C-alpha cells in the first residue's frame, strides 16, 4: 500500500509503504472505524485496518483467502505474510478454449516480495520441499486452510424477509416502484 501526503496530512506519514496484507474487503470496516460508526451485526470478511493505514500496527489478517465461487474444496489461493499459495489455477477471467483447472498438492508457493509476478514457484506439484522455512509455511497454510474450511458454510443463501412494499415481482434494476419499475427513458430524479 502506498500513501501520499495529500490524502490525509498529519495522520499518514507521507511517501510511506507497507507490505502488510490488506484487501478491498477491508475498506468498509476500516472507513467505519475511522468515522467511529459501528458495523451492522453480521459476519464480515474484511477487517478494520486503520492501524495499518495510520502506521500504528500490523494487518489483522493472518491469511487472506481467495475463493473462486462456492467451491466445496475451499479457497483456491491464499496470502500468508510474504507468500502466496495456489491450490488451484485456471484460465483466468478471460478463459480460453481447452484450458483446464489445475490442482496442486502441496500448493504452488510464491515469495511475492521477491517474485511479484508469481513466475517462479518455490514448490513443485507433489514434491515436499526440503527447505525448513518453506515446509513451515506450507504447514501453516495447511492448518489455516483446515481452520477456514471448518468455519465456512456452503449452501443456499436465505434472503431476509421482505419489507414494506417489497415482495415477489417487486424487484428490478433501475427500479422506480411508483412508476411500475419502468426503466425506459432517462432515470427519474423524482422522489
Q: Render each residue's pLDDT in the chain as its tens digit; 191 residues.
A: 444 444 678 888 777 778 888 889 999 999 999 999 999 888 888 999 999 888 888 888 899 998 887 677 889 999 999 999 999 987 766 667 777 888 898 999 999 999 999 989 999 877 788 899 999 999 999 999 999 998 877 666 677 788 787 777 665 554 555 555 455 555 545 54
Helix (H, G, I), strand (E, B) or coil at 78: strand
pTM score of the predicted model? 0.70
Cα Dmax for the chain:
68
Please tell me the distance from the alpha carbon of residue 44 to that of residue 169, in angstroms, as a whole number.
30
Check if the beta carbon of residue 64 is closer than 8 Å to that of residue 78. yes
Check if the beta carbon of residue 82 is closer than 8 Å to that of residue 19. yes
Amino acid at each position: 500500500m502506498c500513501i501520499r501526503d495529500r490524502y490525509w496530512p498529519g495522520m499518514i506519514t507521507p511517501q510511506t509503504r507497507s507490505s502488510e496484507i490488506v484487501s478491498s474487503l477491508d475498506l468498509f470496516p476500516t472507513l467505519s472505524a475511522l468515522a467511529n460508526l459501528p458495523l451492522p451485526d453480521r459476519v464480515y470478511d474484511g477487517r478494520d485496518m486503520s492501524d495499518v493505514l495510520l502506521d500504528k500496527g500490523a494487518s489483522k489478517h493472518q491469511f487472506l483467502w481467495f475463493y473462486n465461487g462456492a467451491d466445496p474444496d475451499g479457497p483456491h489461493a491464499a496470502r500468508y505474510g510474504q507468500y502466496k499459495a495456489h491450490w488451484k489455477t485456471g484460465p483466468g477471467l478471460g478463459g480460453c478454449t481447452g484450458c483446464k483447472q489445475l490442482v496442486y498438492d502441496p500448493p504452488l508457493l510464491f515469495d511475492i516480495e521477491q517474485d511479484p509476478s508469481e513466475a517462479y514457484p518455490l514448490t513443485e506439484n507433489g514434491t515436499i520441499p526440503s527447505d525448513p522455512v518453506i515446509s513451515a509455511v506450507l504447514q501453516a497454510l495447511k492448518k489455516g486452510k483446515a481452520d477456514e474450511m471448518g468455519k465456512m458454510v456452503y449452501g443456499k443463501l436465505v434472503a431476509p424477509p421482505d419489507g414494506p412494499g417489497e415482495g415477489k415481482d417487486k424487484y428490478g434494476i433501475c427500479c422506480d416502484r411508483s412508476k411500475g419499475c419502468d426503466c425506459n427513458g432517462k432515470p427519474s430524479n423524482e422522489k
